[in-house]
Amino acid sequence: MSYKILSLFSLISLCLTSCAQNNNKVLDNETVKLNNTAMNLSEQEWRTKLTPEQYYILREKGTEKPFSGEFTLTKEKGVYKCGGCGEPLFTDDMKFESHCGWPSFDKEIAGGKIIQTEDNTYGMRRTEITCAKCGGHLGHIFDDGPTETGKRYCVNSGSLSFEPQKSNVTQNTTETITLAGGCFWCIEAIFEELKGVSKVESGYSNGNTKNPTYKQVCTGTTGYAEVVQITYNKSIILLEQILEVFFALHDPTTLNRQGADVGTQYRSGIFYQNEEQRKIALKVIETLNKNNAFDNPIVTEINQIKDFYKAENYHQEYYELNKEQPYCKAVIKPKMDKLHKIFAEKLKTKKI
DSSP code, position 324: T
15 is catalytic: no
Give 81 or 315: the residue with its C-beta nearer to Zn ion: 81
Binding segment (CB under 5 A) for Zn ion, from list 40-48, 132-140, 227-235, 275-283: 132-140
Nearer to Zn ion, 134 or 305 (CB): 134
Residue 160 makes contact with Zn ion by CB under 5 A: no
CB of 102 to Zn ion, least distance (A): 18
Evaluate whether 166 touches 78 at the Cβ level (below 8 Å): no
Q: How many CB atoms lie within 10 A of CB 288?
A: 23
**Cβ neighbours of residue 229 under 8 Å, at least 6 residues apart?**
176, 177, 178, 199, 200, 201, 203, 205, 308
Q: Segment contacting Zn ion (CB under 5 A): 24-32, 135-143, 281-289, 330-338?
A: 135-143
Closest CA to 283 of 3, 9, 12, 4: 12
Does 252 engage in binding with Zn ion (CB under 5 A)? no
What's the min distance (Å) between Cβ of 130 and Zn ion?
A: 8
Neighbours of 115 (CB within 10 A): 19
Minimum distance of Zn ion from residue 35's CB (angstroms): 14
Q: Of 89 and 328, which has the nearer Cβ to Zn ion? A: 89
131: contact with Zn ion by CB under 5 A: yes
Which residue's CB is nearer to Zn ion, number 8 or number 58?
58
Q: Which of 134, 183, 186, 328 is catalytic?
A: 183
- The SS3 assignment for 248 reads helix
d(CA 103, CA 70): 9
Our finding on whether 133 is near Zn ion (CB under 5 A) is yes
Looking at the DSSP bridge assignments, the partners of residue 302 are 270
Provide, rounded to whole angstroms, the least separation between the CB of residue 307 and Zn ion: 48
Cβ-proximal residues to 122 (8 Å cutoff; 6+ apart), any chain: none
Among 80, 81, 104, 136, binds Zn ion (CB under 5 A): 136
Which CB, 84 or 139, lies closer to Zn ion? 84
Considering beta carbons, is residue 50 or 82 the nearer one to Zn ion? 82
183 binds Zn ion (CB under 5 A): no
Contacts with Zn ion by CB under 5 A: the residue count is 8
Only one of the segments 123-131, 274-282, 325-333, 340-348 lies at the binding site for Zn ion (rule: CB under 5 A); that segment is 123-131
Residue 134 interacting with Zn ion (CB under 5 A): yes
Residue 82 catalytic? no
Cite the beta strand spans of the chain per DSSP E.
78-82, 88-91, 95-96, 104-105, 114-119, 126-131, 137-142, 152-155, 160-164, 174-181, 197-205, 225-233, 257-258, 261-262, 268-272, 301-304, 308-310
List 82, 154, 186, 328, catalytic entry: 154
Query: What's the closest the beta carbon of residue 132 comes to Zn ion, in angstroms?
Result: 8
Residue 297 sits at the vertex; the CA angle it makes with 345 and 183, to the nearest 5 degrees, is: 60
At 112 the three-state DSSP class reads coil
CB of 90 to Zn ion, least distance (A): 12
Task: For 162, list phi and psi in degrees, rounded to 5.
Answer: -125, 130
Interface residues for Zn ion in 305-334 (CB under 5 A)? none
Site for Zn ion in 56-95 (CB under 5 A): 82, 84-85, 87
| Conformational region of residue 122, where left means phi above 0, alpha means psi within -120 to 50, and beta covers everything else | left
Nearer to Zn ion, 103 or 207 (CB): 103
Separation between Cα atoms, residue 222 and residue 343, nearest integer Å = 35
User: Binding to Zn ion by residue 129, rule CB under 5 A?
Assistant: no
- The CA distance from 227 to 206, in Å, is 10
Q: Rounded CA gap, 268 and 260, in Å?
A: 14
At closest approach, how far in Å is the CB of 109 from Zn ion?
A: 12
User: What residues make contact with Zn ion under the rule CB under 5 A?
Assistant: 82, 84-85, 87, 131, 133-134, 136
Active site members: 154, 183
